[in-house]
């Protein structure tokens, strides 16, 4: 499994309606990709958002990362929507689950 943790802060002047529309499309694309496992969004009280995306393998995560619409959305996000962001991508060293 490959985890992508995307932390970000939205610019004060961002078009939130357009950002939400693009976000909904990215969710639709990601969940339809081969190897997709899960996609979750979280918001903190300080304005930071965190998205966690899981794919089965590096290859399936790479296919998502390099999808043409996703590449366009990444560029637009850097140019128009995000004040800051951080990506962390890796393989869990251990997974514990309870029922």
Contact 37, 60 (CB under 8 A): no
Flag whether 32 is in a domain: yes
Q: Is residue 46 part of a domain?
A: yes
- pTM score > 0.95 for this model? no
Q: What is the pLDDT of residue 43?
A: 96
CA distance 50 to 85: 10
Domain of residue 16 covers 2-89
Per-residue pLDDT of the chain (99 residues; tens, 9 = 90+): 999 999 999 999 999 999 999 999 999 999 999 999 999 999 999 999 999 999 999 999 999 999 999 999 999 999 999 999 999 999 999 999 899
Say which CATH number the domain at 71 has: 3.30.70.100
94 by Cβ neighbours in 10 Å (0-12 / 13-18 / 19+) ranks as exposed
Positive or negative torsion for Cα 18, 30, 8, 42: positive
In a domain, residue 27? The reply is yes
| Domains identified in the chain, total number | 1
Q: Is residue 58 part of a domain?
A: yes
């Amino acid at each position: 499994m490959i985890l992508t943790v995307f932390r970000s802060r939205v610019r004060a002047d961002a078009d939130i309606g357009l950002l939400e529309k693009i976000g909904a499309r990215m969710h639709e694309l990601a969940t339809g990709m081969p190897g997709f496992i899960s996609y979750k969004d979280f918001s903190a009280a300080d304005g930071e958002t965190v998205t966690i995306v899981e794919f089965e393998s590096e290859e399936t995560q790479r296919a998502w990362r390099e999808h043409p619409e996703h590449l366009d959305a990444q560029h637009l996000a850097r140019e128009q929507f995000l004040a800051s962001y951080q990506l962390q991508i890796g393989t869990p060293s251990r997974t514990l689950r309870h029922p």
